[in-house]
């Protein structure tokens, strides 16, 4: 493991995700030759998906020929968890002319130490809901009910089992990816034939 407080270990690109209340750092080493940080400024603007009014702005600073971004824990502590769409801009200092250089997304995760939000992923929530419906249906015989001309139908159990299988597979893949991100092995077996 490397010391992530050391600038020489900062990632060379924007993070895909970070946690509310954590220090977040990165650098852009690919811009200095075309956009000297003595004449240009790198900035970011991020907007929360499904809530256009929730935004945050970032301004990079010079670090040798590179641009570095350092977001303090106190700055990210006020961010709202969710997916943000960001744009990176380079601005010419002499006349404030600006162009968009890059774009992407940040997944800003809730701080598990302070958040009371459900920490399950969307896939896990759906899988749990499907399992709950299947369990609730196990004791019921009828698939549809008709009362005074109104018909109420339930999803056939076969369809629920297909959905369950699909989401269970997605959840297993999600868990494997998380284990790999954390540098751990996963239990998937790889078969080969000679």
Can you spell out the DSSP letters for 174-190?
HHHHHHHHTT-------
The domain locations on the chain are: 7-109, 122-181
Distance from C-alpha of 37 to C-alpha of 62, rounded to nearest angstrom: 6
Note the pLDDT of residue 139.
Answer: 63
Q: In this predicted structure, what is the pLDDT of residue 191?
A: 57
pLDDT in tens, 42-57: 999 999 998 878 999 9
What one-character DSSP code corresponds to residue 79? P
pLDDT digits (tens, 9 = 90+) for 14-42: 999 999 999 999 999 999 999 999 999 99
Q: What is the mean pLDDT of residues 130-152?
A: 74
d(CA 164, CA 130): 6
Q: Output the pLDDT for position 1.
A: 78
The tokens describing 150, both together, are 């109104």
Contacts of residue 104, Cβ cutoff 8 Å, sequence gap at least 6: 14, 16, 85, 86
Q: What is residue 125's three-state secondary structure?
A: helix
What pLDDT sits at residue 169? 93
Express as a percent the part of the chain with pLDDT over 90: 61
What integer best gives the mean pLDDT of the chain?
89
Could you report the per-residue pLDDT of 163-174, keeping only the tens digit for each?
999 999 999 998
Superfamily of domain 7-109: Immunoglobulins (2.60.40.10)
What was the pLDDT predicted at 137? 73
What six digits make up the tokens of 118?
Answer: 């459900």
Residue 140: what pLDDT?
A: 63
């Amino acid at each position: 493991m490397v010391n992530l407080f050391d600038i020489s270990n900062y990632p060379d690109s924007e993070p895909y995700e970070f946690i509310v209340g954590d220090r977040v750092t990165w650098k852009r080493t690919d811009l200095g030759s075309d956009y000297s940080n003595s004449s240009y400024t790198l900035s970011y603007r991020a907007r929360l998906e499904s809530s256009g009014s929730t935004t945050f702005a970032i301004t990079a600073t010079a670090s040798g020929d590179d641009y570095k971004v350092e977001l303090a824990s106190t700055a990210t502590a006020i961010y709202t968890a969710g997916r943000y769409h960001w744009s990176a801009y380079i601005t010419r200092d002499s006349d404030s002319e600006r162009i968009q250089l890059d774009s992407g997304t940040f997944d800003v995760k809730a701080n598990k130490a302070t958040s009371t939000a459900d920490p399950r992923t969307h896939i896990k929530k759906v899988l749990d809901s499907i399992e709950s419906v299947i369990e609730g249906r196990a004791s019921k015989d009828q698939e549809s009910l008709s009362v005074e001309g109104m018909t109420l139908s339930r999803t056939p159990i076969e369809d629920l089992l297909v959905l369950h299988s699909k989401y269970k597979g997605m959840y297993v893949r999600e868990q494997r990816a998380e284990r790999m991100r954390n540098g751990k092995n996963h239990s998937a077996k790889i078969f080969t034939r000679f």
